[in-house]
C-alpha cells in the first residue's frame, strides 16, 4: 500500500530555502518584473495570435503532442491554464521587447565584434607532458603516425577517443583567449604546434575556419547576446526588498 504524504505551499517554500535556491528564485522574479516594466514603458503588447504562437512553441519544446500530454505536464508542474498562458506571455513579451530594443543595433554590433562569431572545426588531444606533445607533433608531421592513431592512444575520455578528438564546430567565444588566437591564425587544414594552457598541452588539428555570415540565425544570436547582457545589467542595478519572513 502506498504511503500518502501531504505537501503544503509552506513545505515548498521551505525546501526552496534549505536547498539554497532563494537567490536564484529572487533573480528570476526580478528579471520578470524588469521585463514587464520595460515592455509596459515601451508600449509593447502581446496579441492573441502571438500568445497562441508562444504557447505552441512551448508545447513543441516540451514535446507535448496532444491535449492529454499538455494536461499531464501542467499537473506535474502544478500549473493552471492561466499559469501556462502567463509563461507563454512572458516568453513572447521578452522576444518582442528584445527585438524592439536591439534590432537596429545588430549590424553595428556584428561588425564591431565579428571575430567573436567566427567558428572552427577542430580535433584536439590534451596531454600533461609537453615533451610528449612535441614528440607526437613531429611524428604526425613527418608521417610516422596519424592524428587518428595519437588520439586513440592518448585520449582518456572514451567518447572523445571514439571521435578521434573531434570537437565539431566550436565558436571562438567558447575557446579560451590563450588558445583561440593561435587556432584562428591557422591555415587549414593544419596541425598546430602544441599549445600550453592551464588545462594542459593541446595538440590541435584545425580542419576548417568558418567566417560568420549575418544570416537570420546569427541575427537572433546577436539579439540574444545583447538582451542577456542588458538583463544582467538591469538586475545588478536593482535593490531587492524582501517582503517575506526569513526564519533563523
51-55, 89-93, 117-121, 240-244: least confident range: 240-244
CA distance 126 to 199: 8
183, 192 contact by CB (below 8 A):
yes
Nearest to 150 by CA among 201, 186, 189: 201
Note whether 91 and 123 are same-domain residues.
Answer: no
Is there a domain that residue 52 lies in? yes
- For residue 247, what pLDDT is reported? 53
* pLDDT class of 217 with cuts at 50, 70, 90: very high
CA distance 98 to 228: 9
Average pLDDT over residues 169-191: 93
Note whether 203 and 223 are same-domain residues.
Answer: no
Q: What is the mean pLDDT of the chain?
A: 94
Nearest to 175 by CA among 186, 163, 164: 186
Average pLDDT over residues 218-228: 95
* pLDDT class of 242 with cuts at 50, 70, 90: confident
In percent, the amount of the chain with pLDDT more than 90 equals 89
Is there a domain that residue 62 lies in? yes
Phi (first) and psi of residue 167, to 5 degrees? -100, -5
- For residue 248, what pLDDT is reported? 45
Note whether 34 and 98 are same-domain residues.
Answer: yes
What are the DSSP E strand ranges found in the chain?
Answer: 119-127, 166-171, 190-191, 195-197, 200-210
Is there a domain that residue 248 lies in? no
Q: Residue 117 above 80 pLDDT?
A: yes
Note whether 35 and 60 are same-domain residues.
Answer: yes
The CATH number of the domain holding residue 189 is 3.10.50.40
CA distance 77 to 197: 44
Domain count of the fold of the chain: 2
Note whether 73 and 130 are same-domain residues.
Answer: no
Domain extent, residue 73, equals 16-108+219-236
Is there a domain that residue 3 lies in? no
Is there a domain that residue 10 lies in? no
Note whether 103 and 124 are same-domain residues.
Answer: no
Note whether 96 and 126 are same-domain residues.
Answer: no
Average pLDDT over residues 35-51: 96
Owner of C-alpha cell 526580478:
30
Note whether 177 and 230 are same-domain residues.
Answer: no
Amino acid at each position: 500500500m502506498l504511503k500518502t504524504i501531504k505537501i503544503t505551499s509552506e513545505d515548498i517554500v521551505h525546501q526552496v530555502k534549505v536547498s539554497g535556491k532563494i537567490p536564484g528564485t529572487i533573480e528570476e522574479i526580478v528579471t520578470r518584473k524588469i521585463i514587464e516594466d520595460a515592455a509596459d514603458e515601451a508600449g509593447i503588447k502581446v496579441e492573441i495570435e502571438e500568445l497562441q504562437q508562444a504557447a505552441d512553441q512551448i508545447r513543441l519544446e516540451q514535446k507535448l503532442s496532444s491535449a492529454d500530454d499538455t494536461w499531464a505536464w501542467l499537473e506535474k508542474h502544478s500549473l493552471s491554464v492561466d499559469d501556462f498562458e502567463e509563461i507563454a506571455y512572458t516568453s513572447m513579451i521578452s522576444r518582442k521587447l528584445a527585438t524592439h530594443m536591439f534590432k537596429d543595433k545588430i549590424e553595428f554590433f556584428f561588425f564591431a565584434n565579428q571575430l567573436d562569431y567566427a567558428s572552427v572545426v577542430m580535433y584536439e588531444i590534451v596531454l600533461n607532458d609537453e615533451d610528449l606533445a612535441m614528440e607526437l607533433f613531429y611524428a604526425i608531421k613527418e608521417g610516422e603516425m596519424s592524428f587518428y592513431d595519437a588520439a586513440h592512444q592518448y585520449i582518456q575520455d572514451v567518447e572523445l577517443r571514439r571521435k578521434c578528438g573531434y570537437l565539431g564546430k566550436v565558436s571562438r567565444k567558447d575557446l579560451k583567449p590563450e588558445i583561440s588566437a593561435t587556432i584562428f591564425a591557422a591555415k587549414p587544414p593544419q596541425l598546430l604546434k602544441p599549445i600550453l594552457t592551464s588545462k594542459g598541452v593541446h595538440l590541435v588539428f584545425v580542419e576548417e575556419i568558418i567566417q560568420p555570415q549575418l544570416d537570420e540565425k546569427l541575427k537572433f544570436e546577436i539579439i540574444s547576446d545583447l538582451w542577456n547582457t542588458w538583463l544582467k545589467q538591469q538586475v545588478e542595478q536593482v535593490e531587492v526588498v524582501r517582503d517575506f519572513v526569513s526564519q533563523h
